[in-house]
Amino acid sequence: MRAELIEQGERVSRKRVARLMRRAGLRGVSRRRGFTITTRRAIDQRPAPDLVNRRFVAERPDQLWVADMTYVPTWAGFIYLSVVLDAWSRRVVGWAIGERMTADLMLVTLNMALKQRRPDAVIHHSDQGCQYTSIAFGNRCTEMGVRPSMGSVGDAYDNAMAESFFASLECELLDRRSFKSNTEGRLAIFTWLEGWYNPRRRRSRLGYLSPANFESKHRATMTTTAVSVEPGLPTAPLASGLVGAGGGAVDKPAPELFNA
């Protein structure tokens, strides 16, 4: 709150902001408790080694990505959100929504990140869910020069950055709204991601800048090297990153939606 006021030209101390918020009955939202298991390990698939070891630190963009999936309840049932975050800026560089927890959902998310960022030997860190250990996902990583990394089973700290992101999503959106349909849930998540989190949500670890503003400020120091990809691979993200119930079907690109 103080950072927002300072950017608007106000001179105010942290204590005064806290006092005024208490007087107005305002306080930050709290984290909700309880969870639904979304990580299902495939016993016959060999996980990738842990290349991160809980050190979620990156010196440049597209050096380390973290990925995970969560559920979103609606009156019509669950939908699932898959994301890839850049550990350097905390920006969501790839995401997809589906009605089933399939490897296709993770592939769409990874492909969106690849189309936007074109990384060079990026580490992709996730849990040991069967979607990430699938042959299709592993082949795509090999094809694009992505280095898979996976934490241990049943330990949230091994993917703490992704867990922190989902905690923010839950307390800022999911705990404050209920969705009558899957479509309503998809639209709300899209708006939160591309209309709030990436362009506007301030993060203390970024000097109280949003992920997009942090990247813009440090654009001159960004040293990401483009890698070879398939001919005609677009640089714009998917229109909505949505995956249908059958998996794999996505909307056509609409880069104008991502100019925020």
Residue 101 lies in a domain: yes
Q: Which residue type sits at 183? A: T
pLDDT score recorded for residue 20: 77
Residue 188 lies in a domain: yes
Instruction: Give the integer Cα–Cα distance in Å for 215 and 88.
Output: 9
Residue 65 lies in a domain: yes
Range of the domain at 230: 31-258
Of the candidates 138, 110, 71, 131, the one whose C-alpha atom is nearest the C-alpha of residue 238 is: 110
Please state, in angstroms and as integers, the Cα–Cα distance from residue 134 to each residue in 30, 44, 47, 103, 251, following that order: 36, 10, 9, 7, 24
Instruction: Give the integer Cα–Cα distance in Å for 102 and 134.
Output: 10
Instruction: Give the integer Cα–Cα distance in Å for 253 and 31.
Output: 34
The tally of domains found in the chain comes to 1
pLDDT by residue (tens digit) across 136-177? 999 999 999 999 999 887 777 889 999 999 999 999 999 999
Q: Is the distance from CB of 72 to CB of 81 less than 8 angstroms?
A: yes
Residue 12 lies in a domain: no
Residue 6 lies in a domain: no
Residue partners of 202: CB distance under 8 A and separation at least 6: 3, 4, 208, 209, 210
pTM greater than the 0.85 cutoff: no
More confident residue, 4 or 110: 110
In the three-class reduction of DSSP (H, G, I as helix; E, B as strand; rest coil), residue 161 is classed as helix
Question: To which H or E segment does residue 20 belong?
Answer: helix 14-24
Residue 22 lies in a domain: no
Q: What is the CATH number of the domain that holds 35?
A: 3.30.420.10
Q: Is the distance from CB of 73 to CB of 46 less than 8 angstroms?
A: no
Using 50, 70 and 90 to split pLDDT, how confident is the model at 209?
A: very high
Residue 23 lies in a domain: no
pLDDT score recorded for residue 202: 93
Residue 16 lies in a domain: no
pLDDT by residue (tens digit) across 27-67? 665 554 444 445 555 455 668 999 999 999 999 999 999 99
